[in-house]
Amino acid sequence: MKMSMEISGLDEVKKLLSKERIKKVLVNSINDTARLDAKPAIVNEMKKSFDRPTPFTLNSVYTRLNSAEMSVEIGLKEWGGKGTPASEYLQPQIFGGSRPMKRSERHLGSYYIPGSGARLNQYGNIPASQLTQILSALGAFPEVGYAMNVTTGSRKRNKKPRNFFMIRHPGHGLHPGVYEKMANGSVKGILIYIGPPTYEIKLKWFEVIQAAFFNNIQRRFNENFNRAFTAKLI
């Protein structure tokens, strides 16, 4: 979404500064508003809208200045390393609707939610290390009926292997998903398969950015003009 801003006082500024200095004042004003007002406002909105957002999510907002066009872009990073980029998993929170599969979901062939036996981190998510163990174990034997063994922890501790197995279709007395067979013979649900999830708009991305600009662009312009005018007098 593109938006334009009106700034008062430009006629007076034109009498006091050269075109080059005016352009610099405008560019700096736009950039300062984006970096110092709009970006922090979005981060604060994430903290209010999401349950324990991760540092990766909070650090995913970027600003990119285009001095030649006197514009600034505010977006979500499109690189996620080994994980899913924020630009993908936050889209349904901004626009509503469905989301693409995460990398682990593509590997497993289904969307999933944590089961009661999953270990969750401080952000309420399944740790990447646990997903790595599961995907590694299921990579060679993806069907139910096989013992999926993966050893966790240091070998020096002689920890017993963890037995993961997958159920793709109903009919085994368990919902489709990934399970772990315990030493006492019980079974814990680790990942429970679900259909494509749909989301309502949760993050008011455009409204927050627009409000941040309307409320702050004039102040940032005044600050940059005062600096430029003071520098001219020195």
Q: What's the confidence (pLDDT) of residue 53?
A: 95
Cα 169 to Cα 47, 131, 174: the distances in Å are 38, 21, 9
Residue 66, classed as helix, strand or coil, is strand
The two three-digit tokens of residue 162, written as one number: 């963890």
Tally DSSP H helices, then E strands, for the chain.
9, 9
Q: What's the confidence (pLDDT) of residue 144?
A: 43
C-alpha–C-alpha distance, residues 233 and 205, integer Å: 41
| pLDDT over 90 at 218, yes or no | yes
pTM of the model: 0.76
Higher pLDDT residue, 130 or 95?
95
43-82 per-position pLDDT tens digit = 999 999 999 999 999 999 999 999 999 999 999 998 867 7
C-alpha–C-alpha distance, residues 182 and 135, integer Å: 18
| pLDDT over 50 at 154, yes or no | no
Higher pLDDT residue, 30 or 84?
30
